[in-house]
Structures are given as C-alpha cells and as structure tokens.
Amino acid sequence: MTADPKDELVEHLGAMRAFAISLTRNTALADDMVQDAVVKAWSKIDSFQPGTNMRAWLFTILRNTYYSHHRKHRREVEDGEGNLTAGLAQKPDHDGRLQMRDFNQAFDQLTPEQREALTLVGAGGFSYEEAAEMCDVAVGTIKSRVNRGRAHLTEILELSDDDPLESTEAVTMGIVASNQGAL
Amino acid sequence: MSRADRTSRIEQEIEQNLKRAFDDVADQEVPSRLTDLLAQLRSKETDRSQQDAKDEGDANDS
C-alpha cells in the first residue's frame, strides 16, 4: 500500500498560515483562506504528483484562493478582529533590530504581488524559478517584484528609522552651536 | 553611521524580519479548526469507502 499524500497535508498547515497571512495581513481571514485551500487540496489530491514539492502545490492553491476570492474582502475586515499591525505584541528590541511592528507596517504597504514574491523567495525557501511557476509568471517578473518590494521596504524603513543617538547628538550640537553664537 | 551603512543594515534587517515574520506564524500551534477539518475530511472519506465496499458486497450477493 502506497502512502496517502493527504496524510502529509497536516505538516504544511503552519507554513500555509504563514503564507496566507503574508497575503491577507489578517489572521482571521488567513485561517478562512487556509481552510478553503485545504478543502480544495483534499478534493483534487489526484492532481498532486507524488515526489514533487507538496508545499509548492499547496501554496499555489492557496494563492489562487486568495486572488479569486479573499482579496475582495480585505477592506471589510481591515479594522476588525485579527488585524496584524493593530494588535501585534511588541518584541523587545535590545540589539537595535527593527521593531517587528515597523516592519509589518511597511510590509502592509506593498502590493500583494510584492509581498507574495518576497515571502516565497525570502522566507519560504523557494527559488525564483519555483516562485515563478507557482505564480504563473516569468522568472523576470518575480525578480522584479522582489527587487521592487525590497526597495520599497528599504525606503519606508529608512524614513521611520529614527536613530535616537543621532537625534540626541543633533540636539546637543544645536545647543552648542547656539551657545557659541550667544558668546 | 553613513547613509550607505544604514541602508545596508536596513536591507539585512528586512531579510531577517521576512524570515522571522514567516517562521513565527509557521511555528505557532495550528488552530484546532484546521486540524479538525482534516479529521472531518478523513472520516467522511472513510464512511464513503465503507459504504462503497458495502454496496459492492451487496451487488455481489445478488
């Protein structure tokens, strides 16, 4: 008896949620979307080729679910339950890393296509070629989405990156300068 | 810190945060509604195949 690929689905639920959240930016909506995708995957498991990457197959179903259905509902739930940036717990930031909240807010401002490409390549461990196949676009399109997404994030985070040391120095310098001017 | 240094630091942090945002969710416990769903789908299927087997048995009897 051969292994049933359906038994493997459970191992990908966590990653499916992570990918869904990168698209919807809302946990409640992401879980609805994963639920729909799991039902679809189950019913069309025969189209999964054993030995190929099941996570890629599931992510493809998930993104199709998002673009055909859940994208429309984003505005309706934006301020509701599960909103990521509103209720997110702050992680301590002792070593100067960017706050996760800043990052999430910047990430929100990208297009879903840029978030998707960045997530697949930058976090999901997929190659540009795999991501292109999953998104049904050319490899060059994925590369340009990744590059634009990165550039946009850098731009936003540079603006919000107020280094407290630098601004303190600037104030001190200003005081010194004005004192010197008074003397 | 020079502007170029700051940009490369931010780029590095973007990579780390992309991974962290993904892994934080992927490593979380999956809500029971999703694991329950798989169990439901499985039990529906088992019921159906048992029904099929029974139908087949009935057909052979006649």
Provide ipTM, 2 decimals: 0.80
Phi first, then psi: what are they for A83, rounded to 5°? -65, 130
| Separation between Cα atoms, residue A84 and residue A82, nearest integer Å | 6
CB contact A24 to B (< 8 Å): no
| Separation between Cα atoms, residue A57 and residue B60, nearest integer Å | 40
All residues of chain A having their beta carbon less than 8 Å from the beta carbon of residue B35 are 10, 13
Contact A61, A37 (CB under 8 A): yes
The answer on pLDDT for B14 being more than 70 is yes
Tell me the pLDDT band of A96, cut-offs 50, 70 and 90.
very low
Tell me the pLDDT band of A172, cut-offs 50, 70 and 90.
low
CB contact A168 to B (< 8 Å): no
The answer on pLDDT for A87 being more than 50 is no
| Separation between Cα atoms, residue B34 and residue A46, nearest integer Å | 21
The answer on pLDDT for A138 being more than 80 is yes
Cβ–Cβ gap A104/B25 under 8 Å: no
| Separation between Cα atoms, residue A110 and residue A115, nearest integer Å | 6
Q: Dump pLDDT digits (tens) for A6-20.
A: 999 999 999 999 999
The answer on pLDDT for A135 being more than 90 is yes
How far CA A5 is from CA of A2, A41, B3, in Å, comes to 9, 10, 51
The answer on pLDDT for A133 being more than 80 is yes
Other Cβ atoms less than 10 A from the Cβ of A141: the count is: 16
Q: Dump pLDDT digits (tens) for B24-51.
A: 999 999 999 999 999 999 998 888 777 7
Pick from A5-9, A15-19, A95-99, A149-153: least confident: A95-99
Pick from A46-55, A130-139, B5-14: least confident: B5-14
CB contact A142 to B (< 8 Å): no
Pick from A6-10, A87-91, A103-107: least confident: A87-91
CB contact A109 to B (< 8 Å): no
Residue whose C-alpha is closest to residue A61's, from A123, A122, A9: A9
| pTM of the full structure | 0.79
Share of chain A above pLDDT 70, in %: 72
Tell me the pLDDT band of B55, cut-offs 50, 70 and 90.
confident
Q: How many residues does chain A have?
A: 183
Instruction: Return the H-helix or E-strand segment holding B30.
Output: none
Cβ–Cβ gap A150/B26 under 8 Å: no
Q: Which of B24, B25, B48, B49 to mutate to test binding with chain A, by most A CBs within 10 Å of its CB?
A: B25
All residues of chain B having their beta carbon less than 8 Å from the beta carbon of residue A35 are 33-34, 37
